[in-house]
Amino acid sequence: MKKYIFISPLLLCLLSLYSCYDDSSTLATNNIGNITFTEKQSELYVGSMEELTLTPDIQIAEGTNTNALTYEWALTETPVTSSSSYNFEYEIISTDPQLNYIVERPVSTSPYTLLLTITDTVHDNLQYTKYWKIYVQSTFLDGLLISDTQNGTTSDLTLINNQAFTVNYNKDEQIFRKILTSLNGQPFNGLMQTLVYEVMGYGSSIQTNQVWAILGDATLARFNCLDYTQNGQFEDQSLIIDKPNGLQVLSAFQSHSNFYINTSNNLYTLASSTVNRFSGPAGALSSYKVNNNVIAYSPNTGHVSNSLSGADQQHLTFYDKERASFITCNGSGQFMQVKSFDANNNFDPNKLPNQTAISAVVFEDMSQIVFLMKDDTNGTYSIYTFSRYIGEEGHYDGDNWIVTSPSQPASARNKYTIPSEGTALLDKAISIFFSNRNLLLYVTTTDGIYTINYGAGSTATVSTTAKYTPQSGEIITKAKMYQQGLYNYNCNLIVGDNPTVPQTEWNNKAIIVTTQSSEYEGKVHIIPITQVASGTLDPSKAKTYDGFGKILDVTTTGY
């Protein structure tokens, strides 16, 4: 229930006088009739979506009929600033003597106004009032972010903070459900099918933690993780400047120092350190076409294995079907260069026709690039690995440079054929992804998660025994590696030579799994990996969250 309260300039002055009296009185009270406010605190700080609990300090005169007192708590709809008009819209949030209220207001540096009115109904409805300034701060730290829908048309966000998913978190687990409905009065109009965390201006005064959402109609939206207000939409130029009619957004990711979207008009890129919208397609890649939306990329700006060149080398690779070739990139922005891999006796990356890319990864230390490919002619699958460029090593002897190890070009490495039992699993898979630390491919079907090991000989080894199966009556709908938010933005911050952000317990050591028991009854499971080399999972130690509709995606955020 809402009401409008008109505060006239005269009344505002009177309130100011009461405030002056309150501050200057030796009793620190505001005493009018039978009710005395002895509350000294006039400013309160609370997190958005957290509970505000307040029991006012009051003295009630002896003989007062307390059953005749009514309470009304009201909170302004918007923050009150020095430029606000005198017409404030209040929402009545409680009629109990003690306030217990989940604060559903956006984060603001300006305070909201909380008004308590106590009415003495047996003494001519005499009213006693008390005001507080309420500062709403962000409570949305890094954690698990889930998008789901209850009707197939609109969607909403849920954030989970706990010690396993949130850096330096020592409180009880908090689950913030239906964030957009709570803050805006309604869910998001559209289906947030894919969520991607990104940081604009990391470490600077303009740093903004944000989530890009690829919608069901292949358009974009973006939300500020501070309070999940929308800070970009597809319809205007707040996200993309050069946007041809019918542009479809297929995926989004961070590679090296830039943020990318893969679209029906090829790859777009922006320098996320200073820029927050895409201008147009990446010029160096304008004539190339990513096959099947599969890209091997590395959110790594400096942490590489020994003797490798900088992290800007081969940080982004994809298969171009029309060219029958793998394309790899060095550098970013205007300095991006398109390169190729040298062939070896195992395969020629520049002459590999009739293939479809299925999944890909760049290892955490950038030691190798891996692709799963399907042969269009016979339906078989193979894993192809690549080596990155290795720079020349040596030392100076006076003015002379002595080479101790010559440079090695980026090149083909190995090919591993997947046997028929792996083909059977891959053909019915709903999620396929590589580990970026171990020689392991995860294959997820609706009824289980399986693994394929590679690296020995020329044939991969398929584990046909599921590492995880859902409960009876449930089906798996999606699975991915659990990686903390800032790791996906710049893993060098987490695992580099001089990390600045603590690594969460399960980073790269757990699998995110979503299941559905019916169309609008979904669960999220985070299942730890107990043996990283084989991909063994321990469902008994999983963290499971229910209460969702149809789960669209799960990602991790940073802070």
pLDDT digits (tens, 9 = 90+) for 188-232: 999 999 999 999 998 887 899 999 999 999 999 999 999 999 999
Please tell me whether residues 128 and 154 are part of one structural domain: no
Please tell me whether residues 329 and 230 are part of one structural domain: yes
Say if residue 13's pLDDT is above 70. no
CATH of the domain at 158: 2.130.10
Give the model's pLDDT for residue 313.
84
Confidence of residue 437 (pLDDT cuts 50, 70, 90): very high
Report the alpha-carbon angle 530-535-540, nearest 5: 45
In a domain, 539, yes or no: yes
Q: How far is CA 483 from CA 38, 136, 495, in A?
A: 50, 30, 12
In a domain, 28, yes or no: no
Question: Which of 108, 137, 166 finishes a domain?
Answer: 137
Give the model's pLDDT for residue 306.
54
Q: How many CB atoms lie within 10 A of CB 486?
A: 28
Please tell me whether residues 510 and 447 are part of one structural domain: yes
Confidence of residue 170 (pLDDT cuts 50, 70, 90): confident
Q: Helix (H, G, I), strand (E, B), or coil: what is residue 523?
A: strand
83 burial level (CB within 10 Å; 0-12, 13-18, 19+)? exposed
pLDDT digits (tens, 9 = 90+) for 324-360: 999 999 888 778 899 999 999 999 999 999 999 999 9
Q: How many domains in the chain?
A: 2
Give the model's pLDDT for residue 27.
32
In a domain, 24, yes or no: no
Please tell me whether residues 116 and 160 are part of one structural domain: no
Confidence of residue 252 (pLDDT cuts 50, 70, 90): very high
Question: Which of 81, 116, 137 finishes a domain?
Answer: 137
Sign of torsion over alpha carbons 256, 262, 265, 271: negative
In a domain, 79, yes or no: yes
Distance CA 435, CA 441 (A): 6
Please tell me whether residues 358 and 432 are part of one structural domain: yes
Please tell me whether residues 387 and 254 are part of one structural domain: yes
Please tell me whether residues 98 and 239 are part of one structural domain: no
Give the model's pLDDT for residue 104.
86
In a domain, 13, yes or no: no
Question: Which of 137, 172, 196 finishes a domain?
Answer: 137
**Domain range for 355:** 143-557
Mean pLDDT of 278-287: 90
Please tell me whether residues 223 and 366 are part of one structural domain: yes
In a domain, 1, yes or no: no
Please tell me whether residues 180 and 79 are part of one structural domain: no
Give the model's pLDDT for residue 559.
81
Percentage of residues in the chain with pLDDT exceeding 70?
Answer: 92
Say if residue 139's pLDDT is above 90. no
Distance CA 107, CA 139 (A): 9
In a domain, 335, yes or no: yes
Please tell me whether residues 299 and 324 are part of one structural domain: yes
Residue type, 101: Y
- Which regions of 121-246 does DSSP assign to beta strands (E)? 126-137, 144-149, 156-161, 174-176, 192-200, 208-215, 220-224, 229-233
Mean pLDDT of 102-128: 90
Please tell me whether residues 147 and 123 are part of one structural domain: no
In a domain, 29, yes or no: no
What are the structure tokens assigned to 50, written together?
């957290």
Strand order in the sheet with 258-263: 249-255, 258-263, 266-271
Give the model's pLDDT for residue 8.
44
Report the alpha-carbon angle 197-202-207, nearest 5: 85
